[in-house]
Amino acid sequence: MKKIPYLSVFIMFSLLLMSSLQILNLENQETNIFDSENFLKEILSLDQFEDITQENREDIRSADGEEEEPENEPDEDEDEDGIDDETEDLNEREVDVKYSENEAHIESTLHQGEVKDKISIEIQTEDEGLKINLEYSKDTESSELEVEFEIVFSTLIEFIDNNNDSIFTENQDTLLNETSLDSFNDFQYSNYTIKNTSKMHYFQISTTNDNLIFHIFFVEEYYELNDILLIPTQMKIDIEIANYTYSDSSSQLSLVMDIESENEFDEDDETEDDETEDEANGYSQNEEWIQTSPADISGFFSWSQYALVDDIEKNVSVNTISISEENLQRVYLNYPRGAHIYHDPKIGVKGIIRLPTVPFSPGNPFSYLIYILLGVLLLFGLIMTKQEYRHYLLNRIIDIDKGVHRLTMEDVLENEFRNQILNLIIENPGIHYSELLRSVDTSSSNLAWHLDILETYKIISKKRVGRFLIFYPFIEKNPFAEFDINLIKSKTTLDIFQIVGDNPGIVQYQIAKRMDLNRKTIKYHLDKLMSSNLIRIEKIGRKNHIYPLE
């Protein structure tokens, strides 16, 4: 009977896997020449992976022995604003501005091949206040997506907070003054070159009494201004209240605005999903927002929970009133009393930030790890059929301490019940004891007896992971021995681990975009990786960054 060396089978599988990846165009960087000999050495020395870190990795060398320079580092951030350069390039927009004394039109366009992605903003001052209308459209050959909403800053209220809840409530608090925002100075506009040829656009719009000034910023690409990240899909509206003459020593101010949308507001979404897009992306913190619809792409108005009041950071209390028949939300921005108040809301479109795809890079040791894990998962179903595995077991040369057992290998494999158990383990490498017991019609003691025989004859291996006892086909150096069963059995978890390994410092929102999954799902898998001590999360400034654990 012809012998099938296990090493040969494993090499054949590895080469087939590499060929498949090339066919799928997952190895598309010419500079990362894949050395199959070194790759197999890595596979056959799995304990090396315990010491691999982002800073201490094996050099990937070309056929002539020269070290290859990576074509583009995924984390390159030339301007050090926390956004990798590829993401910045993907989201850089063309902005056209036209304005007059009391009106401005801003058009921001992003071209994606035949697809045109456009944000149009109209700013007007009129009798009813400062009006800002935002429209977003995305035209493709098959469909057209549109988002439209309008906000109007209409009134500045002075009131006494009778019930000390920090918000203005009609019929409960004392209204002292109600100043309509109906008289404005001419628009002041300027622009500044921020990077290369891209610009930051700035409007200053103030009331004629100069008590209220709106500072409006719009950028063509990501830009950090005074430690605040400006994003090209948003417009930053800094509100400045200065030198207001209070009529009572205990009064405070509330700025009233209306948000009107053609869609119904998602009033029931008050769970953790209400985390703003910028918070989820690590761009900001301590924000709240109102979305114009529950859709993945929608308009929003957001604000910081804090304002600078006489140069001291103080809490901003916000209350809203829904006017359903008009599909309108009335918002009260309630500020602590002060001579100078500075607050920074934003409006924009969520869900349209473009993120780079993550190549499966064979030059990265984390890619090797995924190769190995996926290889073991696929080995028995793709290269080794059950029959071929049995053939291999019967013909291999290996020392076996049979202990109390007196069976030959043929005797072990001829037992119908043991074959049923072995089939389950081959089909489900990493299966745990309770799952095996549920899958076979026998007692726990009988199952344990047959598993002991299979393990003694080195047909299967076992490992305790947490409270689970897991089983897999016997391999002398098995990657399963080092990893949690929850990771092994989830391709999604492995994919996320791959992304973190390729992009140390990535944030959760970027992973969700790349995987096309919601943030709760990503958090679930990140928690599994955290509990297995494979990643760590580090808060740097306003951002939560995810790194492979060193």
Q: Give the β-pairing of 340-343 and 234-242.
A: antiparallel
Mean pLDDT value across residues 131-146: 78
Give the integer Cα–Cα distance in Å for 144 and 141: 8
DSSP H or E segment with residue 426: helix 416-427
pLDDT band (50, 70, 90) for residue 467: low
pLDDT for the residue 312: 93
Question: Is the CB of residue 240 less than 8 Å from the CB of residue 341?
Answer: yes
| pLDDT over threshold 60, residue 338 | yes
Quickly tell me which residue has 């622009």 as its tokens: 191
Q: Is 96 exposed, middle or buried (0-12, 13-18, 19+ CB in 10 A)?
A: exposed
Question: Is the CB of residue 138 less than 8 Å from the CB of residue 117?
Answer: yes
User: Tell me, what amino acid is at 88?
Assistant: E
Give the integer Cα–Cα distance in Å for 225 and 229: 6
Which of the listed CATH numbers 3.40.50.1820, 1.20.120.330, 3.90.1150.10, 1.10.10.10 matches domain 490-548? Answer: 1.10.10.10
The contacts of residue 93 (CB under 8 Å, 6+ apart) are 108, 109, 110, 119, 220, 221, 232, 233
Instruction: Write out the two tokens for 182.
Output: 């109906």
Q: Which residues pair with 291 in a beta bridge?
A: 300
Question: What is the pLDDT of the chain when averaged over all its residues?
Answer: 75
Highest mean pLDDT pick, 127-141, 160-174, 310-324: 160-174
Give the integer Cα–Cα distance in Å for 277 and 289: 9
**What residue spans of 428-489 are helical by DSSP H?**
433-439, 444-456, 485-488
Residue extents of the structural domains in the chain: 1-74+356-393, 85-350, 398-476, 490-548
Q: 391: how many CB neighbours lie within 10 A of its CB?
A: 17
| pLDDT over threshold 60, residue 308 | yes
492 backbone dihedrals φ, ψ, rounded to 5°: -60, -45
Between CA 250 and CA 255, with CA 251 as vertex, the angle to 5 degrees is: 160
3-state secondary structure of 126: strand
pLDDT digits (tens, 9 = 90+) for 427-456: 777 787 877 888 888 888 888 889 989 989
Domain 85-350 and domain 398-476 have a common topology: no
| pLDDT over threshold 80, residue 490 | no
Higher confidence at residue 146 or residue 417?
417
Q: Is 525 exposed, middle or buried (0-12, 13-18, 19+ CB in 10 A)?
A: buried
Give the integer Cα–Cα distance in Å for 436 and 470: 9
Lowest-pLDDT range of 233-237, 254-258, 529-533? 529-533
Class of 398-476 in CATH: mainly alpha
Mean pLDDT value across residues 353-357: 72
Lowest-pLDDT range of 31-35, 239-243, 252-256, 520-524? 31-35
pLDDT for the residue 158: 96
Question: Is the CB of residue 340 less than 8 Å from the CB of residue 281?
Answer: no
pTM above 0.95, yes or no: no
Give the integer Cα–Cα distance in Å for 373 and 367: 10
pLDDT band (50, 70, 90) for residue 242: very high
* Virtual torsion, Cα 386, 390, 395, 401, nearest 10 deg: 130
Higher confidence at residue 4 or residue 151?
151
pLDDT digits (tens, 9 = 90+) for 365-375: 444 444 444 45
Question: Is the CB of residue 379 less than 8 Å from the CB of residue 13?
Answer: yes
pLDDT for the residue 141: 56
130 backbone dihedrals φ, ψ, rounded to 5°: -90, 115
pLDDT for the residue 281: 64
pLDDT band (50, 70, 90) for residue 5: very low
pLDDT band (50, 70, 90) for residue 232: very high
Q: Which residues pair with 141 in a beta bridge?
A: none
Question: Is the CB of residue 454 less than 8 Å from the CB of residue 420?
Answer: no
pLDDT for the residue 499: 84
CA distances from 370 to 91, 155, 479 (A): 30, 58, 10
Q: CA Rg, the chain, in Å?
A: 31
Highest mean pLDDT pick, 23-37, 135-149, 313-327: 313-327
Lowest-pLDDT range of 199-208, 324-333, 460-469, 524-533? 460-469
Question: Is the CB of residue 481 less than 8 Å from the CB of residue 463?
Answer: yes
Mean pLDDT value across residues 115-129: 90
Q: In angstroms, how far is CA 366 from the centroid of its own chain?
A: 19
pLDDT band (50, 70, 90) for residue 465: low
Q: 145: how many CB neighbours lie within 10 A of its CB?
A: 13
CATH architecture for the domain at 85-350: Distorted Sandwich (2.70)
Q: In angstroms, how far apart are the furthest CA atoms of the chain?
A: 102
